[in-house]
Amino acid sequence: MPISSHSHSGQFCGHAKNTLEEMVKTAISLKMETFAMTEHMPRDEEDLYPEESGQVEIEQTAADLVDLMNRYYAEAVRLRDVYAPQIKLLVGFESEWIRPSSAGLVVRLVQQYQFDLFVGSIHHLHTIPIDFDKLRYEAARKVSGGTDELVFEDYFDEQYVMLQTLKPPVVGHFDLIRLFSDDPDRSFKPMKDVWQKILRNLEFIAGYGGLVELNSAAIRKGMSEPYPKVEICEEFLKLGGRFTLSDDSHGVEQIAQNYHRVFEAITRIGIQDIYCFERGGEKVDDRFGHVRVRSHTVVSLADHPGFAALNR
């Protein structure tokens, strides 16, 4: 049952590597069953990353990013059809939540294309990127009041607004805010206000049926547990929340990377089922009427013939 609900390619993302087709071929070689292609959505001119203002592949204007999305969608649909006999490919995108106008950009994308899903993520706080580098994280922290606890509070409040507005099918790297904090592995529980906001957000996600991704990228970036932390996953499980599995890959070498470590966390948490989207069947979301949620037992993940290949 190896799956990934979140990935990027160097063909359509300035901080990734490899073509989209190379990503798909690698997923096939690793015996993955479902692989979601979820390139970043276009952003406003003022929100371009430094990498995008100096690259040839991804040009310097917001209009160019719109064109890039058009080319991505066409290529993703082509690959989905070509490789249908070998793998279930999903065509989606990763949303951004930077300012209130972000909601309109997401809605237009969903209306313009026939996507299968999107990953609802926050990479900015106070319009500042919080996962690009330590310097920018510190700038956002300063706006929040100067401490990790205060910036955590602002992050989960902003996430709550995003969740209420977009109700994303997949919630991306739920606790990304800890990446550049002073201690990314510290527990959130002693921070009472932060913890209450986390519980509030989890309850809302469980209420509308969103999937929280178990994202292995946190381990790749030096943390001991995936996004979200085990303590958060335990609470979401108590609420009847459902999880999906993501590598958040930005190149072929990252596909399914550290999945064995995520499986260890799954075992500790006590998760029995992993969910993913697939095309066909009874609709679960009016925006994506051609898509349904499929469940797989964790036992089937451990027993899958591809798991040995993914154990890296």
Q: Where are the alpha helices (DSSP H) in the chain?
A: 20-29, 62-82, 102-112, 134-144, 148-166, 192-208, 217-220, 230-238, 259-269, 298-303, 307-310
Q: Strand pairing partners for 171?
A: 120, 212
CA–CA dist 276, 34 (Å, integer): 8
Please compute, for residue 173, the number of CA atoms within 13 A of its CA located in the half-sphere on the CB side.
27
Question: Which are the contacts of 252, defined by CB distance < 8 A and separation ≥ 6?
Answer: 17, 18, 22, 23, 26
Q: What's the CATH code of the domain at 221?
A: 3.20.20.140
Q: What is the rounded distance in angstroms from the CA atom of residue 271 to the CA atom of residue 298?
A: 7
pTM of the model: 0.93
Of residues 306 and 258, more confidently modeled: 258
Residue pLDDT, tens place only, 116-139: 999 999 999 999 999 999 999 999
CB of 237 closer than 8 Å to CB of 265: no
- Cα separation, 105 vs 117, in Å, equals 15
Give the largest CA-CA distance in the chain.
53
pLDDT at 208: 97
DSSP 227: B
Place of tokens 């996430």: 159
Give the model confidence (pLDDT) of 142-176 as tens digits.
Answer: 999 999 999 999 999 999 999 999 999 999 999 99
Range of the domain at 59: 3-310
For residue 302, what pLDDT is reported? 73
* pLDDT over 90 (residue 301): no
- Residue indicated by tokens 């500042």: 128
Taking residues 87-103, what's their average pLDDT? 95
Counting the structural domains of the chain, the total is 1
Q: Are the C-beta atoms of residues 310 and 285 closer than 8 Å to each other?
A: no
> Could you identify the residue written with the tokens 């970043």?
40
